[in-house]
Amino acid sequence: MGVTVLGSGSQGNAIVVHTATGGVLVDAGFSRVELRRRLAAAQVDETLLRAILITHEHEDHVKGLRVMANTLKLPVYCNRLTAESIRDKGHAPDERFCLFTVGAAFEVGGFRIEPFSIPHDAVDPSAFIFRLGGKKIAIVTDIGHASGLVQHHLRECDLLVLESNHEVTLLMNSGRPMDLKHRILGKHGHLSNADSMALLKRVAHARTRHVILAHASQECNRYELVEQHASQCLKQLGRLDIRILVAQQDTCLPTVWV
């Protein structure tokens, strides 16, 4: 399996999980034009896409959903409450949603996909486990805290995509309204760099070889800070064999294969 982060941050999020014969787009937080440009830049053929999976209804995850799904004639998978919210926001595709139930696995694009609930301030947010050929990948961003359920699902992964959203000091010193600061720091907000590393320490497994840190705030974080936290964490774990990548807002990451 390959994981290609097309971009990640508060202005837009999209990730492709793919093989040589098929793939799925996880979230469509950029315009159709921008999504297609990034797919081309990452050398991921858009004709490989078999579906779009949506984690939750926030704009930075669904901005290009309707037009992208309609253009490429892709089914859109999400849970019922998320689908209703997407319709209310005007991002629904022409075709009906393919609804999944959180906690019940399904198959699309050749993958076994296991959706599970995460704590975030959306109507019914989900994260995903991808399985294929004995390999396991987790994509978990936009979480306020690492619940027991989250930690359970992240065990024994070959590749982890984890949120590392903000540095608390930078957030508190920012010009953001205090209520927004409290929302981000809350149990249904976003993981700080320190929280992300604490989670990584708990779930890193002997088979884990790749970690992509995602959804970094451009205002309240720095990519180099994320890298520093990760480097220190891996040293403490004695796991210098794990490759760390930091997803960015404006550029694609090279594909990571497991």
Q: How far is CA 222 from CA 12, 49, 177, 189, 229, in A?
A: 17, 32, 20, 19, 11
- Give CA–CA dist 28/142, Å, rounded: 15
> Confidence band (pLDDT; 50, 70, 90) for 71?
very high
Over range 157-170, report the average pLDDT: 98
Task: Retrieve residue 44's tokens.
Answer: 């991921």
By C-alpha distance, which of 142, 119, 120, 117 is closest to 129? 117
Over range 169-176, report the average pLDDT: 98
pLDDT given at position 9: 98
pLDDT given at position 170: 98
Question: Does the model's pTM come out above 0.95?
Answer: yes
Task: Retrieve residue 102's tokens.
Answer: 């959180």
109: left (phi over 0), alpha (psi -120 to 50) or beta: left
pLDDT given at position 221: 98
- Tens digit of each residue's pLDDT (9 = 90 or more) over 77-134: 999 999 999 999 999 999 999 999 999 999 999 999 999 999 999 999 999 999 999 9
Number of domains in the chain: 1
pLDDT given at position 258: 98
pLDDT given at position 141: 95
Over range 30-45, report the average pLDDT: 98
CATH number of the domain where residue 249 is located:
3.60.15.10
Domain extent for 248: 2-257
Which uninterrupted H or E stretch holds 4?
strand 2-7
Q: Tell me the angle at which helices 32-41 and 65-72 cross, rounded to the nearest 10 degrees.
A: 70
